[in-house]
Amino acid sequence: MSSDLRITFLGTGTSVGVPMIGCDCPTCRSTDPRDKRCRSSIYVETPESSWVVDTGPDFRYQCLRAGVRKMDAAVYTHAHMDHVTGFDELRRFTIPEDHWMPIYAHPATLAVLERMFDYAFNGENRYRGYLKPFPKPIHGKFHLGETTLTPLPVLHGKVETNGYLLERGGRKLCAYIPDAKELLPATMAALEGVDTLIIDALRRTPHPTHLTFDESLAIVETVAPREAWFTHFTCEIRHAVEEPTLPEGVRLAYDGLVLEWS
């Protein structure tokens, strides 16, 4: 790769995806590929290391679509179903080398993964082909290759949730916060000077555990990044209708979008 950091949006949809099963709204019936949203996830590539942030139910399909062949670790934001149920599909990245996949997550998120996928964590069934997770509880900054990841705790209903700040060479290149209702003061401080902010903007109408367009726009105004990308949309958001309404420097992410920093 020619860039230092490359992010591919594997998915930009909310928990039930877009289109939703059984929905006939204009977005769910749209033929615009930007309106077809797998569950939110990004794939991060650097010269030294590649990892995914969240493995929702679409993870296998997302990897095939994006041609993902290398996975050195998995990082989780939180343990809601749309971010974790694809966990077992990580097994394809531990074959044939049979290496243990580092799983970076808040201890509460790891506890859910360990409960849901007990067969992978319980020390039995260690035969070839089974996923061998190596739990890496997050208690502060950590490193994947030369990238520093800082967990950004956010409020998102009852579940412990992190966004992540990605820094290389002392530069705050990007922050990824796909699920949040409110950013804590420490998180707002950590975002100061970030180049690119990727943030939850579920829909226009209020939601008890997700940021709306207006709420996220207010955060963008305070943080003042070079550019901001909204993500994690319901079908209330039709790409071609909504994007033109946004201020300069704020865009809507879509599945397959690639961002690069050099």
- Tell me how far, at minimum, the Cβ of 96 lies from a copy of itself, in Å: 10
Tell which one of 43, 117, 142, 229 touches a copy of itself (CB under 8 A): 117
DSSP-derived secondary structure for 28-71: TT---GGG-BPBSEEEEE-SS-EEEE---TTHHHHHHHHT----
92 contacts a copy of itself (rule: CB under 8 A): yes
Tell which one of 95, 108, 184, 258 touches a copy of itself (CB under 8 A): 95
Pairing state between β 5-11 and 258-261: antiparallel
235 contacts a copy of itself (rule: CB under 8 A): no
128 contacts a copy of itself (rule: CB under 8 A): no
188 contacts a copy of itself (rule: CB under 8 A): no
Q: Which residues of 151-186 are buried (b: 16+ CB within 10 A; e: fewer)?
A: bbbbebeebbbbbbbbbbeeebbbbbbbbbbebeee
Compute the distance between CA of residue 134 and CA of residue 143 in angstroms, rounded to an integer: 15
Residue range at the interface with a copy of itself (CB under 8 A); choices 4-12, 91-99, 144-152, 190-198: 91-99
C-alpha 191, offset from chain centre? 17
Residue range at the interface with a copy of itself (CB under 8 A); choices 90-98, 102-110, 136-144, 224-232: 90-98
Compute the distance between CA of residue 27 and CA of residue 225 in angstroms, rounded to an integer: 29
- Tell me how far, at minimum, the Cβ of 131 lies from a copy of itself, in Å: 9
- Give the CA angle between residues 130, 134, 136 to the nearest 5°: 150
111 contacts a copy of itself (rule: CB under 8 A): no
114 contacts a copy of itself (rule: CB under 8 A): no
Contacting residues toward a copy of itself, per CB under 8 A: 16-17, 19-22, 57-61, 63-64, 68-69, 81, 85-86, 88-89, 91-93, 95, 115-118
